Amino acid sequence: MMALCARVRTGLRPLHRLSAVLLLVALVAPATAADPIVVLLDQAKIIHLPERASTVVIGNPLIADLTIQPGGLGVITGKGYGSTNFVVLDRHGAVLAEHTVAVEGPSDPTVVVFRGPTRQTYSCTPDCSPRITLGDTGKEDFDKETQLYSDYFAKTINQAATRNNQATAAGATTTGH
């Protein structure tokens, strides 16, 4: 019986060493990155920020934007395709969190039409209508004199900005309601 106990004790020593090595490796190895926060292009997602968050640094603001809201909330907006990161800091500059953001294409039913070098996207919810999407051009913007396509994207953005400015100006004149 005594010989059996001695063999069992000596047999456990390699297991203790192995578990000690694995524990050490787990403590020294860098933590694995959490799954990225997925946001759809031109959409927003609300996240909870760590307490004491006062500053957010975005790796590439052309891909995503993040604004701090009251109550410890943050709003991430997908601006362009791809992935980037953001770092949350407290008022003393200490890092509170770091996350990856992946911006993906629209999830609604879309149809993409390619005509030679041009591309136009249609949102089909339920009827198909033109939708401005990064990389699109428009057949209706073909200039017969220069035989070139004008910038459909820039024209649509300018129209949207003009419309928003007019709506803001109209809202500013109706005070007291």
Q: Domain segments of the chain: what residues?
A: 37-104, 110-167
- C-alpha angle 163/168/171, rounded to 5°? 125
Q: What is the pLDDT of residue 8?
A: 46
53 pLDDT above the threshold of 80: yes
Are β-strands 95-104 and 110-115 bridged in parallel, bridged antiparallel, or unpaired? unpaired
Q: What is the pLDDT of residue 73?
A: 94
pLDDT band at 25 (very low <50, low <70, confident <90, very high): very low
Question: pLDDT for 130-147, tens place per residue?
Answer: 887 777 775 555 555 555
Taking the whole predicted model, whether its pTM rises above 0.75 is answered as: no
Residue 115: name the closest of 149, 85, 84, 158 by CA. Answer: 149
Higher pLDDT, 160 or 165: 165
Say which CATH topology domain 37-104 has: Immunoglobulin-like (2.60.40)
Angstrom distance (rounded) from CA 85 to CA 166 = 35
Which residues, 6 or more positions from 96, have their beta carbon under 8 angstroms from its beta carbon? 49, 50, 52, 53, 88, 89, 90
Angstrom distance (rounded) from CA 167 to CA 155 = 18
Higher pLDDT, 9 or 74: 74
Residue 134: name the closest of 162, 101, 110, 166 by CA. Answer: 110
Which residues, 6 or more positions from 87, have their beta carbon under 8 angstroms from its beta carbon? 56, 57, 95, 97, 98
Average pLDDT (4-23) is 53
Range of weakest confidence among 16-30, 47-61, 84-98, 163-177: 16-30
